[in-house]
Amino acid sequence: MESFYTIQGEGYYQGKAAYFIRLGGCDVGCVWCDVKDSWDASRHPQQSIDEIVSAAAAYPGRMAVITGGEPLMHNLDTLTAALHEAGFQTNIETSGSSPLSGEWDWICLSPKKFKFPLPEILPLAHELKVVIFNKSDFAWAEKYAAQVSPTCKLYLAPEWDKSKEMTPLLIEYIKENPQWELSLQIHKYINVP
Ligand SMILES: C[S@@+](CC[C@H](N)C(=O)[O-])C[C@H]1O[C@@H](n2cnc3c(N)ncnc32)[C@H](O)[C@@H]1O
Ligand SMILES: Nc1nc2[nH]cc(C(=O)O)c2c(=O)[nH]1
Ligand code: SF4
Ligand SMILES: [Mg+2]
């Protein structure tokens, strides 16, 4: 769909320069998704892996973030091998709802109520990032926290349009449950893509 060099705005690598590769197509359908344009893959041009990787390599950063849409709707073995070959760290942002493919240095799993993650990705996640849209989502987040590895980093993120209302609840929750950390979409505050 699009590629851009920016600052990772969320989660563990928040604040780091990263090259984002956003792949078209998503069958999850989150009501609050902030990139609904990405859902229909046929509306976006196809690019070769060579084109994608050489565009990325023009920038000094060597962290690539594959996102979407739902990137795991595509087989990512060849793309991630080419990124590794070019010296990139490979990170993915995924709902985990399609089978895992690709060679990953970092898996950010963001489970969704609209299409659950497949169980096999849970022990492989390096980072669990749960979007909080309403109060019941805290208990739902704990259900997934119990299934990831003991070293997996745990993040709660307010849904953007409800962040004014929900962020104070996240702050209180994290103060009571300090295994969780706050993830804000900082790119939206600093106006970068
Ligand atoms: C657009 S999704 C694409 C990758 C993948 N489909 C997924 O959901 O993880 C990238 C990240 O943005 C988050 N996100 C999407 N819409 C959001 C919103 N309105 N508020 C907060 N986070 C949002 C998702 O939860 C996910 O962590
Ligand atoms: N700057 C920036 N950071 C991000 N982290 C995850 C994003 C995503 O849409 O996957 C994202 C994004 O869209 N922009
Ligand atoms: S899974 Fe990701 S891309 Fe798909 S609708 Fe949900 S937030 Fe949007
Ligand atoms: Mg985004």
Write down the domain spans for the chain: 2-190
Give the closest residue to 126 by CA, choosing from 97, 158, 83, 155: 155
Class in CATH terms, 2-190: alpha beta
pLDDT value of residue 112: 98
Atom of ligand 2 nearest to the CA of 10: 5
Instruction: Give pLDDT < 70 ranges for the chain.
Output: none
**Dist. CA 49 → ligand 1 center (Å):** 24
pLDDT in tens, 105-130: 999 999 999 999 999 999 999 999 99
Residue 193 annotated as binding? yes
ipTM at complex level: 0.99
Q: Count other C-beta atoms under 10 Å from residue 59's C-beta.
A: 13
**Dist. CA 5 → ligand 2 center (Å):** 11
Angstrom distance (rounded) from CA 63 to CA 41: 24
pLDDT value of residue 192: 98
Residue 32 annotated as binding? yes
Angstrom distance (rounded) from CA 144 to CA 154: 10
- Give the pTM: 0.98
Do 36 and 22 meet the contact criterion of CB atoms below 8 Å apart? no
